[in-house]
Chain A
Amino acid sequence: MWDTLIVTPFANVLLFIYLVIGQNFGLAIVLFTILIRAITHPLMVKQIKGSQAMQDMQKDKRWIEAQEKYKGDREKLAQEQMRLYKELGVNPFSSCLPTLIQFPIIIGLYQSLTATLATTPLELVKLSDRIYPFLANLGSIFPWVPDVFSILPLKSSFLWMDLGMPERLHFAFLNGLPLIGGGIPVLAIIVMITTYMQGKLMATPSTNPGDQSAQMTKMMNLYMPILMGWISLTLASGLAIYFIASNLIGIGQYALLGKVNWRALIPSFKAEPKVAVKAVEKPEPKPELKAPVKLAPKTTLKSTKPVKKTSLKSGGKSGKTLGTTRGKNGSGKNDIGDHRTNS
């Protein structure tokens, strides 16, 4: 079932790309990654919306009050947070669930990569059985495309690596040295760096570093590069190519959507939004009454109700006004977008 629905179609798409572009499997993986990224784009958008919903909720008056009220009682605070999650219809995991959904795709991709690369005779025999008939007749549509069976097994060499094997860059002078004597795992290092970069760049700064979402993001940013690096170190380098391409394309997608937080890459530049903190310091008794909303006229509603629309006036010097809206579907939308103000 899994093979029929995921692995075999993936393998055939990979083979198709490999054939059409002139038998370069490394390039085929990159193009395939772009395709996968395009298909999973809606999931990514959903993830962004989930993150924004969390952000918006953290600016809610009751959330801020709860932080202050239960400062010393973490358990009570967590209970209150959960209550607010439910009340405001925010799923704290909505930002990471779409990411998790992509894991089966990664597993399917890996299996299709190994199936397509066929690094043993048995895998090659099985690959021949997987090929769809249309691939065998591709030459009639694309005259430059050779018979699919004539190009098996695929050429797995790409740059200095064999895409079917774990990657190491070998240097004669390193032979015999402990740990790196077997070669330098360049791809695994790049995977770790790009995964870390992606995590940092795409993480929306939290208004409250102690909240669940911030903790989760922090842990994911820590674990994921290690996990991905380990996978790249031990499994076929074709998968590492996928990870790198996927990370870079992902960053590109975020950048195009205007969601990349470039400042997060600079360690000294803490992108902590001070709006909420200031709001706690100088809470407005009835902020909704002082709502000369400049950016989004529709964002003035009483915040005592489950947040449909909220407005908070920043206590910062800049005096910017934040406006958030939540549509009927529960997804949040921030009118300022960057969630930061300069004070």
Chain B
Amino acid sequence: MKNLKILPSVIVILVAAMLLSGCAGGSLSTNWSNATIAKDMIYISNQSGVFAVNLSDGSLLKRFPEKAEAAKSFYAAPAVAADGTIVVGDFTNSIYGINPDTMSQKWVFSEAHGRFVGSPIITGSTVLAPCSDHYLYALNLEGKLLWKYKTGEPLWASPVSDGKWVYQPGIDRNLHQIDLATGKKGWITSLGGAAVSSPLLTKDGMIYLGTTSGVLLSIDASSGKILHQYNTRKAIWTTPVLKDEILYFGTQAGSVIAVDTRRWSEAPLWEKDLGSAVIGSGALLSDGVLFPTQAGQLVVLGLTNGEKVRSWSFNPNLYANPLVNGDKVVVISTGEKVMMAFDSTGKELWSAAFVHPK
């Protein structure tokens, strides 16, 4: 009969466990890994830590933190300062400054209230870190807050800066121009859709960016005025690639489109269906433009006509932007081989797997 007495407690605990374990799958939000190349190193944010990997052979040198900690999870690509300091935000509201030699913590900024989904950028001596708590944080290279700028919704996209102004796209469907020195608002331009990828800022003061509502926009950086737009009606996740006045970008519907920036009113130069969502941005190679697909295919398309130059496939999904360094292409996947390097012909040079947290 004692069993009967403890039964309510057991039921409550079981239900609680069931509920919490059921929720855990959703609550522990994850994302795909992202990486950056600095000199002869690759720094990859891969869930439990930031890993320093030798670019030449893919060997793992060090990691931060040294051992996986439940409270730290990293997905946004790190940024590397001129002095080599690695700056990276995590999913538990902190930005870390990491010593590249020892991969140990130099400083931490913990005043944010949301995940760092987008990668930080470093402009001069200022770290600009977009956060899911709607703020863009500006820190100095010691991790001290200089200013913060509030937008209406979470920030996933990395900003760009010309050294005077910062251009921050947001899920609030706006592009914000912010004074780099003070954090004061310049102009705000309504985009008509959320922007989840970093814009392309050209030297002649043009901003190109796509929205999840499927519009590619050309914006004057000085005034914020939308000059041109091209509606694909398909969500755009990629940062456009510009080569010889032609923009190359992918859509979630699986197409890669080339638009001539001198002829916005005309039909695109070409459109190629890759058969699977294109989430990662393109990378220019000597003989074409490379795009990864969600289904795990790497495709090189000719610049002039969009014809397939070559392609190769993997089982895992490819979401992250591929990295190009000289004749090496580094691809990040969701599979066991987290990172793979290829030469320009598509031959695999090395692959790296990392220990995931249990």
Our verdict on whether A and B bind, yes or no, reads yes
On A, residues with C-beta under 8 Å from B are: 74-75, 78-79, 82, 96, 100, 103-104, 106-107, 110-111, 113-115, 119-125, 128, 147, 149-153, 155-157, 162, 164-165, 168, 170, 182-183, 212, 215-216, 219-220, 223-224, 227, 231, 234-236
CA distance A4 to B179 in the complex (A): 47
Which residues of chain A have C-beta atoms less than 8 A from B167's C-beta? none
Which partner residue on chain A sits nearest B34 by CB separation?
Answer: A121
Distance in angstroms between the alpha carbons of A107 and B26 in the assembled complex: 10
Instruction: Name 21 A/B residue pairs within 8 A (Cβ), A-sorted.
Output: A75-B1, A100-B11, A100-B15, A110-B23, A110-B26, A111-B22, A111-B26, A114-B26, A119-B154, A120-B29, A120-B30, A125-B237, A147-B213, A153-B154, A153-B194, A153-B196, A155-B172, A170-B113, A231-B19, A231-B23, A234-B27
- Contact pick for A125, options B25, B117, B171, B279, CB 8 Å: B279
Residue from the list A121, A151, A227 in contact with B196, Cβ < 8 A: A121
* Interchain CA distance A231-B19 in the complex, whole Å: 9
A212 touching B4 by the CB < 8 A rule? yes
Q: Which residues of B contact A149 (CB under 8 A)?
A: 212-214, 234-235
Residues of B within 8 A of A121 (CB): 31-32, 117, 156, 196, 237, 279, 319
> Are the CB atoms of B12 and A223 closer together than 8 Å?
yes
Q: Is the CB of A78 within 8 A of B1?
A: yes
- Residues of the B chain whose Cβ atoms lie less than 8 Å from the Cβ of A115: 26
B16 on the interface (CB 8 Å rule)? yes
On whether the beta carbons of B319 and A162 are closer than 8 Å, the reply is: no
Question: CA of A82 to CA of B3 in the docked complex: distance in angstroms?
Answer: 12
Q: Is the CB of A120 within 8 A of B113?
A: no
Known pairs A128-B252, A162-B114; A122 contacts B30 (CB<8 A):
yes
Q: How far is the CA of A329 from the CA of B134 in the complex (A)?
A: 57
- B18:A119 contact, CB within 8 angstroms: no
- Kindly report which residue of chain A lies nearest to residue B234, judged by CB atoms: A149
Given contacts A121-B32, A128-B235, contact A103 B114 (CB under 8 A): no
Tell me, yes or no, whether B239 is within 8 Å of chain A by CB: no
Question: Which 4 pairs show the lowest CB-CB distances between chains A and B?
Answer: A150-B213, A78-B1, A107-B22, A114-B26
* Listed residue (A113, A119, A147, A151) with the most chain B CB atoms within 10 angstroms of its CB: A119
Residues 127-179 of B at the A interface (beta carbon under 8 Å): 132-134, 152-154, 156, 171-172
Q: Is B328 an interface residue (CB 8 A)?
A: no
Pick from A78, A107, A110, A147: contact of B18, CB under 8 Å: A107
CB A282 to nearest CB in B, in angstroms, measures 30
Please measure, in the bound complex, the distance between the C-alpha atom of A182 and the C-alpha atom of B112, giving whole angstroms. Answer: 10
Question: Would you call B114 and A78 a contact (CB within 8 A)?
Answer: no
**Complex contact A153–B212 (CB within 8 A):** yes
B180-215 with Cβ < 8 A to chain A: 192-194, 196, 212-214
Tell me which residues across on chain A come within 8 A of B11, comparing CB atoms: 96, 100
Which of B20, B23, B115 lies in contact with A111, CB distance below 8 A?
B23
B27 contacts across to A, CB distance below 8 A: 110, 114, 234-236
Q: From B5, B20, B235, give the contact of A231 (CB < 8 A).
A: B20
Can you name the residue of chain B whose Cβ is closest to the Cβ of A2?
Answer: B22
Complex alpha-carbon distance, A111 and B132, angstroms: 20
Q: Nearest A residue to B24 by beta-carbon distance?
A: A235
Chain A residues, Cβ within 8 Å of B26: 110-111, 113-115
Bound: A111/B19 CA distance, A: 11
Decide if B304 is an interface residue (CB 8 Å cutoff).
no
Q: Quick check: is B277 within 8 A (CB to CB) of the other chain?
A: yes
B8 touches A125 (CB 8 A): no
Q: Is the CB of B9 closer than 8 A to any CB of chain A?
A: yes
Q: Are B25 and A111 closer than 8 Å at their CB atoms?
A: yes
User: Are A183 and B113 also in contact (CB < 8 A) when A96-B11, A107-B22 are?
Assistant: yes
Distance A74 CA – B1 CA, assembled complex (angstroms) = 9
Q: Is there an interface contact between A122 and B20, defined as CB atoms closer than 8 Å?
A: no
Bound CA–CA A128/B294 (angstroms)? 13
Q: CA of A168 to CA of B112 in the docked complex: distance in angstroms?
A: 12
Alpha-carbon gap, A117 to B153, bound state (A): 12
Chain A residue at minimal CB-CB distance from B29: A120
Q: Knowing that A124-B212, A153-B196 are A-B contacts, what are 15 other residue pairs whose CB atoms are under 8 Å apart, sorted by A's residue number?
A: A107-B23, A114-B26, A120-B117, A123-B29, A125-B279, A125-B294, A149-B213, A149-B214, A152-B235, A164-B154, A216-B7, A223-B9, A223-B12, A227-B19, A231-B20
Q: Of all chain A residues, which has the CB nearest B197?
A: A121
- Which residues on the B side are within 8 Å of A151 (C-beta)? 213
Q: Complex: how many Å from CA A120 to CA B116?
A: 10
Given A125-B252, A125-B279, verify A103-B213 contact (CB < 8 Å): no
**A224–B25 CA distance with the chains assembled, in angstroms:** 22
B79 to nearest A CB, angstroms?
Answer: 18
Which residue of chain A lies nearest to B14 when distances are taken between CB atoms in the complex? A100
B-chain residues with CB within 8 Å of residue A164 when the two chains form the complex: 132, 154
> In the bound complex, do residue B115 and residue A122 qualify as a contact, i.e. CB atoms below 8 Å apart?
no
The complex places the Cα of A50 from the Cα of B71 at a distance, in Å, of 44
Closest to A123 in B: B29
Chain A nearest CB from B86 CB (Å) reads: 22
List, in ascending order, chain B residues with CB within 8 A of A78's CB.
1, 4-5
CB-based nearest A residue for B32: A122
For the complex formed, measure the closest distance between the CB of B99 and the CB atoms of chain A, giving whole angstroms: 27
Q: What residues on A are CB-neighbors of B133 within 8 Å?
A: 162, 165
Asked if A150 contacts B32 (CB within 8 A), the reply is: no
Chain A nearest Cβ from B134, distance in angstroms = 7
Q: Which residues of A contact B194 (CB under 8 A)?
A: 152-153
Give the CA-CA distance A120 to B30 in the complex, in Å: 7
In the assembled complex, the CB of B196 is this many whole angstroms from the nearest CB of chain A, namely 6
Chain A neighbourhood of B172, CB < 8 A: 155
Q: Which of B19, B25, B196 contacts A106 (CB 8 A)?
A: B19
